[in-house]
Amino acid sequence: MEKIKELLNQISKIVVAEKTQQEERRRRGENFNIFKVLGLSSSEVRLHSAFLAELLNPNGDHGLEDKFLKAFLEIVIGNKANFDFDTKSAKTYVEYDIGTISEDYKEGGRIDILIRDKKGATIIIENKIYAGDQPWQMYRYNRYAEKHCSTGNYILLYLTLDNKKPSEDSTGKDPKFNYFCISYKADILTWLKQCVATAALHPAIRETISQYIINLKQSLNIMSENNNQSTINYLIDESNIEATISILSLSSEIGNCIRLNFINEKLKSLAAKYNMEFCFEKEFPMLPNGRQPKYKKIMYKIPNYPNVIFVLEQENNEVYYGITQLYGGIVNKKVFSNWSDGVTDGWPYGSKYFPANLKYWDNWDTLVDMVKGDKIVNIIDKELNKVLENHLIETLDEDIRNRK
């Protein structure tokens, strides 16, 4: 235990040094991020897919023809598989439509990025920044490729921030097709650095890519290279390796404990503030195999109105909130336009996801906020206040009683 304390103390010193250096860079304007200023930093479609596709497009406005695409094939795909692709004839598509999604979810959808050469060789990229997997999503894209590309003439890439694998919901159990996991943290950042070098004599392109790299590093919470390497070297040092492995082996339990404490302390305190009853399903804080069980709830109730609740609910680890009936369905009665997502019979006022950087409760930045911050708490506090000021629970309860 003493060795672990010593290890954490030394790592904390590196983290403090990193924060000091980040503040110095901020004051010099080196961390200026135009994508964050414009509110696009985590938008999969509007920023990430669009930006990557533009670089990968030989006919793009960057004017460097197929140079970026060649580098992508060498740096990203070349490390995964041998793939013959004619970069000069390639055409690039964003949100490529492959038809309406079928009732069984096994056909159709929109492919984030699709690149095809004149011989039909195809690169398919499923881009996951924060969004969860859709049912049979990777299976659908592979099925499309099997129908429209000759055998071995396509490659399917699953792109995430940190090399996560797609869920069984997306691939099916024991998938019989090949796909490759790539990450922004390793593959894309390495490729982008090469793109900066390639665009050295094109300042507008070079600086735009550099800004995008800054955006990615901020999203990934990546240290400077010197501090990052110092941390790694210290962690894997022979004298520290056992303590490091001990900490890594507890990562799942650490996340579960943080979420449980957050629910029991900070979220429960909001119920006391507003004189509401509070309860949650015990599985909510858990993340077995990186995924929570579906539709588990954290509930806020007004005394004497036990059947209508303000609820935090999650599916595939995406957390959203709204008002619903605890038992039974509700006739659609949307009167609170602030909750713009998912207006259904079960969510008469609509529902709303937490912001992209807070709706995934296994995200490390989210876990830090649960311990040290107040972003999630402030959102729930604000929404509970609206619920009570507008008498939404009482109104809905009365409406339900009148329908019986």
Whether residue 166 sits in one domain with residue 36: yes
Domain-embedded: residue 246: no
Provide the pLDDT for residue 257: 93
Provide the pLDDT for residue 289: 44
Provide the pLDDT for residue 340: 60
Residue 288 — very low, low, confident or very high, per pLDDT cuts 50/70/90?
A: very low
Which tokens go with 371? 């311990």
The predicted model scores a pTM of: 0.70
pLDDT at 164 over 70: yes
pLDDT at 132 over 80: no
pLDDT digits (tens, 9 = 90+) for 295-320: 688 999 999 887 889 999 887 668 89
Provide the pLDDT for residue 339: 66
Whether residue 319 sits in one domain with residue 193: no
Domain-embedded: residue 348: yes
Provide the pLDDT for residue 213: 92
Whether residue 77 sits in one domain with residue 124: yes
Provide the pLDDT for residue 152: 73
Residue 385 — very low, low, confident or very high, per pLDDT cuts 50/70/90?
A: very high
Instruction: Yes or no: say if 53 and 90 are a contact pair by the CB < 8 Å rule.
Output: no
Whether residue 302 sits in one domain with residue 194: no
Whether residue 262 sits in one domain with residue 218: no
Domain-embedded: residue 293: yes
Q: Which of 272-276, 343-347, 368-372 has the lowest mean pLDDT?
A: 343-347
Whether residue 42 sits in one domain with residue 179: yes
Query: Could you say which of 171, 196, 229 is where a domain stops?
Result: 229
Domain-embedded: residue 241: no
Share of the chain above pLDDT 70, in %: 90
pLDDT at 238 over 60: yes
Whether residue 217 sits in one domain with residue 186: yes
pLDDT digits (tens, 9 = 90+) for 146-155: 999 877 799 9
Number of domains in the chain: 2
pLDDT at 227 over 80: no
pLDDT at 242 over 50: yes
Whether residue 190 sits in one domain with residue 259: no
pLDDT at 13 over 60: yes
Whether residue 221 sits in one domain with residue 184: yes
Provide the pLDDT for residue 41: 64
Average pLDDT of 267-271? 96
Residue 74 — very low, low, confident or very high, per pLDDT cuts 50/70/90?
A: very high
What range does the domain containing 387 cover?
252-403
Average pLDDT, the chain: 85
pLDDT digits (tens, 9 = 90+) for 200-224: 999 999 999 999 998 888 877 766 6
Whether residue 193 sits in one domain with residue 342: no
Domain-embedded: residue 4: no
Whether residue 399 sits in one domain with residue 269: yes
Domain-embedded: residue 388: yes
pLDDT at 399 over 80: no
Domain-embedded: residue 234: no
Average pLDDT of 378-392? 93
Whether residue 219 sits in one domain with residue 269: no
Three-class secondary structure assignment of the chain: CHHHHHHHHHHHHHHHHHHHHHHHHHHCCCCCCHHHHCCCCCCHHHHHHHHHHHHHCCCCCCCCCCHHHHHHHHHHHCCCCCCCCCHHHCEEEEEEECCCCCCCCCCCCEEEEEEECCCCCEEEEEEECCCCCCCCHHHHHHHHHHHHCCCCCEEEEEEECCCCCCCHHHHCCCCCCCCEEEEHHHHHHHHHHHHHHHCCCCHHHHHHHHHHHHHHHHHHCCCCHHHHHHHHHHHCCCCCHHHHHHHHHCHHHHHHHHHHHHHHHHHHHHHHHCCCEEEECCCCCCCHHHCCCCCEEEEEEECCEEEEEEEEEEECCEEEEEEEECCCCCCCCCCCCCCCECCECCECCCEEECCCCCCECCCHHHHHHHHHCCHHHHHHHHHHHHHHHCCHHHHHHHHHHHHC
Domain-embedded: residue 5: no
